[in-house]
Copies of this chain bind each other. A is one copy, B any other.
Amino acid sequence: MARSTIRDVAAHAGVSVATVSRVLGGNYPVAARTRTKVLRSIEELDFVANAHARALSGSSSKLVAIVTSTMNAPFYAEVASGVEAYTSVEGRLCMYVSTNGDVQRELEVLGLMREQRAEAVILVGGVAMTPEYHDRMARYARGLAAVGGRLVFCGRPSLGPDVPAVVVEYENEGGAHAGTSHLISRGHRRIVLLGGIPGQTTGDDRIAGYRRAMAEHGIPVDEALMMPGQFGRRFAYDRIRERLDAGLHDFTAIFALDDILAGAAMHAVRDAGLRVPEDVSILGYNDSEIALDLYPALTSVHIPVRELGRTAARLALQPGEGVVRDHVMLGTHVVVRDSVVPPVR
């Protein structure tokens, strides 16, 4: 079975290629009899149009890309499916790519998407911002815009007015502030801050929110309780375990900047012979599915993730040359469950 072209179909049906194209497109009058004849030929030859040829002349490529650092985090997966749900109607193709946190790879993907003449590229999650990165991103963004593509930063701050991009953020710093305030209002004053990569936008903002809340309540921040680092289960477990095993149970709560970290911290506390939440309260961030799986169910800062994805997709695909709305901020809030209680004296 050889691949058949539109010319094969035309020959088989005894019409011109233009007519076949018209039947395919459906946006030009074709007599009913001719149409059925063509359709039958298409059927018989098992003809399928070549998307590349179509994109080449039609110019619109119907491709949307979503880029995250990893596919294995529920947060990203959720955003991606939010985008995909919105996008995959009307025969649009949605491409989900991961970069393994490699900034280089992110720019590479951007270049690839520019080659593809993608309709939109959605970059999700924080990034370690350097001047050099800023420059390259600015160039790529302009390049994408030049071929009619739109760039969306999702859960990542704007790069300034010289980078043509739509920004969809959530109250990241505010969420950390609210979470910390929640712990303080329950009577905690010695609060471990676990996770958050310094220098990376997401982590920095959350740490800032923590500090702001502490300052507002006049509580000094003990730098020994600050435990920044990679978002990893192992890291979190070890850090908490170390401190507890050293006999330093000098905190009553842990604010983990990620639910996974919260889960690992929970294990560490228990394995050290303490109880959650009686001896140590734990607060997470992201409110991902795992929050429900943990026991006790995890109190966590909720991010409207699907909404984030949908909004990003909506703004990415909004019609028109100039962009109507180019900055959206979504709210976050603390979801109270069972892992935070007042400290027992």
Contact = CB atoms under 8 A, between A and B. Distances in A.
Nearest to A148: B3
Interface string A77-112: 110110011001001011111101000000000011
Contacts of A51: 112, 115-117
A339 to B, nearest CB: 12
B146 A1 contact: yes
A199 B1 CA distance: 33
B46 A146 contact: yes
A201 interface: no
Interface in A189-221: none
* Complex copy number for this chain: 2
Most chain B beta carbons < 10 A, residue from A96, A270, A292 = A96
Contacts of A48: 111, 114-115, 143, 147
Interface in A98-141: 98, 100, 111-112, 114-117
A233 B292 contact: yes
A276 to B, nearest CB: 9
Most chain B beta carbons < 10 A, residue from A85, A111, A233, A292 = A292
A223 B63 CA distance: 49
Contact of A146 (B2, B100, B145): B2
A290 B73 CA distance: 12
A112 to B, nearest CB: 6
A342 interface: no
Interface string A283-299: 00000011011110100
B98 A95 contact: no
Question: Interface size for chain A: under 10, 10 to 19, 20 to 34, or 35 or more residues?
Answer: 35 or more
Contact of A52 (B56, B78, B100, B289): B56
Nearest to A139: B46
A71 interface: yes
Contacts of A55: 52
Contact of A95 (B70, B96, B111, B233): B96
A49 interface: yes
Contact of A295 (B49, B93, B270): B270
A74 interface: yes
Interface string A53-85: 111100001000000001110100110110011
Contacts of A115: 48-51, 54
A260 interface: yes
A246 to B, nearest CB: 23
A142 interface: yes
Given A52-B55, A71-B77, A84-B97, 10 more contacts: A1-B142, A3-B147, A48-B143, A51-B115, A56-B56, A72-B77, A77-B77, A85-B100, A93-B97, A266-B295
